[in-house]
A and B are shown apart, each in its own frame.
Chain A
Amino acid sequence: MNPKLLIAIRDNDVAARLDQCLEVLIVQLDGKGRPLSRKNLVLAKPSDKEICRIAQAEGVGAVICGAVDEEISLYLTWKSVQVIDDVIGPVEEVLRLFAQGRLVRSTIIPDETAKRMIQNVSNETF
């Protein structure tokens, strides 16, 4: 696989939807999956089609995002770009999992607030 990936981001998390995303992070990985370089691109307006164009122009091998439309997902796959969608969690955690080869579709990484809520609810025997 091409050791370059694109992550649709919002603040420090993976963006909820590719078509509503205004910023992407492009990370170049070395042979062992460690980040060599990274750059952020800010879009003038949200557009999944523009992200597809960027992905191809940058020659990325994988796109990581939250929700993605079926049509866009098929298009990227057709262009030999792996789509790892339905991902929720902080960007750095997601990157770490990807580098370990453990990031799959529908990965959810709860943040501290979510963990606290889960703990509280289980304590309340909800």
Chain B
Amino acid sequence: MRLWKGIHHMTALGADTLLDKLPFATAVITPGRRVLFLNRAMEALTGFSRDEALGLRCDCVLRCSACLDDCPLAEAGEQDKPLSLEGDVINRDRRRLPVRLSLSAVPDETGAPAFYLETLEERPGGIRPALEGGPMSFSRIIGRSPAMERLFETLPAVAQTDSSLLITGETGTGKDVLAEAIHQASPRSKGPFIKVNCGALPESLLESELFGHRKGAFTGAVKDKPGRIQLAEGGTLFLTEVGDLPLPLQVKLLSFLDDRVVYPLGGTSGVVTNVRLIAATHHDLEAAVAAGRFRQDLMFRLNVIRLHLPPLRDRGVDVRLLLDHFLNVCSAQLGKNVRGLDERALATLMGHPYPGNVRELRNIVEYACTMCRGEQVTASDLPAYLKPQSSAPDAARAAEQEQHAAPQADYAELERGRMLKALLEAGGRKGKAAQALGLSRTTFWRKLKSHGLAGEEKP
């Protein structure tokens, strides 16, 4: 009865009006898990009016996956600060909305929870299922290919854990974007996302950068400096190019992963941290372990969960999808009115092997948008290394014609044609041909070999 009086008092004070003014969908829940009040935003989100919802079980009204997995009310009652969880709701319109749920207990005069305030905040970064044949997406990552759909399905669960995560994939596949997207979708999203490129700094600097230092640890260390690990407290530390981490630092990182204590350079005492680690590399870590360049025990600790981003050449339909997506984005960013590509430009782009993956595709589209003067990108707007040459020798032209005539032809055949063409144009010089295709000499050699075009010589 005290509760009713309290609520009545709240109403007299205009608390319901106050709750209606909140930008977040908010519900007042009784300790018996019944709905007492919904503000306007919550009515809009769930589709229930406050009169309909009054007295109903909160899980039946809010329909949040986080509530149904394991009711968080008991936990919220024991904590001083609000409890935050990720999940999704299915509203009365049958729409599934990714949300962040925050729950806090409002105590009575004895300290026991009088009622709970529950807010639901829509998360734009949540996974969106494919509708009407559209692509699935996770934050800024989009895809429709089976390989990406499989990846998207695992991401919400991966984001919810605190386990160390290793992201592998070729350069330009979006490892950094994925790491940040996972952080944003995780319960740590309110905390910092700190990125460290392990290949960009010399060993001595990297150690100080990662673990910090105490005053006087070395010449120039005039004051204590916290490392990046400490700066990531409550959030996520992202180690990109972890395969380039020097061996002595691998030992130190291993020790940190074991006990989560950071020992700054020149310090004697450690600092306990609460950080989730995400690492990424384009190297084959297993091969690096076999070659003695990477510690096996560290790999096992990083490899608790592994996500592999497929190269663009294995993503099939995604090339066209990303092409259109970047065209829209770049066109808008550059203030242009580019609406598509002509047939020849499209065939060239669809036949390109994209050794630089999504990053290369984006750069090509950005270049083409910049160069394009009309509403349609033509072959002449493409970067020089992609342009089909009108003066190409017969064999090369034949290869090109074959490519245009049969856009559905086997990818390997198209690649073989392009390599032949590049070789002919370069007068047989492999270095020049590799450069023209945007490939390294070794990759070019490997591809020549796989197509049966290599002689006995070595690269």
Contacts and interface: CB of A to CB of B under 8 A. Distances in A.
B60 A88 contact: yes
Interface string A85-111: 110100000000000000000101010
B69 A66 contact: no
A116 B91 contact: no
Interface in B238-281: none
Contact of B90 (A68, A116, A120): A68
Contact of A113 (B7, B34, B69): B34
Contacts of B34: 113-114, 117
B4 interface: yes
A68 B54 contact: no
B69 A20 contact: yes
B92 A106 contact: yes
Contact of A66 (B8, B55, B63, B93): B63
Contact of A20 (B7, B52, B68, B93): B68
A67 B56 contact: no
B4 A86 contact: no
Interface in B127-164: 129, 131
Contact of B54 (A16, A17, A106, A114): A114
Nearest to B48: A108
A37 to B, nearest CB: 28
B4 A124 contact: yes
B99 to A, nearest CB: 13
Contact of A110 (B56, B96, B131): B56
B94 A73 contact: yes
B11 A67 contact: no
Which residue, of A17, A20, A113, has the highest number of chain B Cβ atoms within 10 A? A17
B55 A115 contact: yes
Interface string A69-89: 111010000000000011010
B63 A114 contact: no
B65 interface: yes
Contacts of B373: none
A68 B94 contact: yes
Contact of B94 (A69, A110, A121, A124): A69
Interface in A25-84: 66-71, 73
A16 B94 contact: no
Contacts, number: 74
Interface size class of B (residues with CB under 8 A): 20 to 34
B129 A17 contact: no
Given A16-B60, A67-B63, A124 B8 contact: yes
A121 B54 contact: yes
B59 interface: yes
B77 to A, nearest CB: 19
A86 B55 contact: no
A71 B131 CA distance: 8
A71 B129 contact: yes
B111 interface: no
A67 B91 contact: yes
Contacts of A69: 90, 94, 96
Contact of A121 (B4, B60, B92, B129): B4
Contacts of A13: 57, 60
Given A16-B60, A108-B56, A126 B7 contact: yes
A118 to B, nearest CB: 5
Interface string B11-40: 100000000000000000010101010000
Which residue, of A68, A116, A120, has the highest number of chain B Cβ atoms within 10 A? A120
Contacts of B94: 67-70, 73, 85
A20 B65 CA distance: 7
Nearest to B62: A16
A66 B59 CA distance: 10
A66 B5 CA distance: 32
A118 B54 contact: yes
B92 A17 contact: no
A113 B68 CA distance: 20
Interface string A7-23: 00000010011011000
B37 to A, nearest CB: 9
A114 B11 contact: no
Contact of A17 (B52, B57, B65, B93): B65
B325 interface: no
A114 B55 CA distance: 4
A117 B131 CA distance: 40
Contacts of B91: 67
Contact of A16 (B32, B52, B68): B68
Interface of A: 13, 16-17, 19-20, 66-71, 73, 85-86, 88, 106, 108, 110, 113-118, 120-121, 124-126
10 contacts: A16-B57, A19-B90, A67-B89, A67-B91, A68-B90, A73-B94, A86-B92, A114-B54, A117-B36, A125-B8
Interface of B: 4-5, 7-8, 11, 30, 32, 34, 36, 52, 54-57, 59-60, 63, 65, 68-69, 89-96, 129, 131
Given A67-B94, A106-B92, 6 more contacts: A68-B94, A71-B129, A88-B56, A113-B55, A114-B55, A117-B55
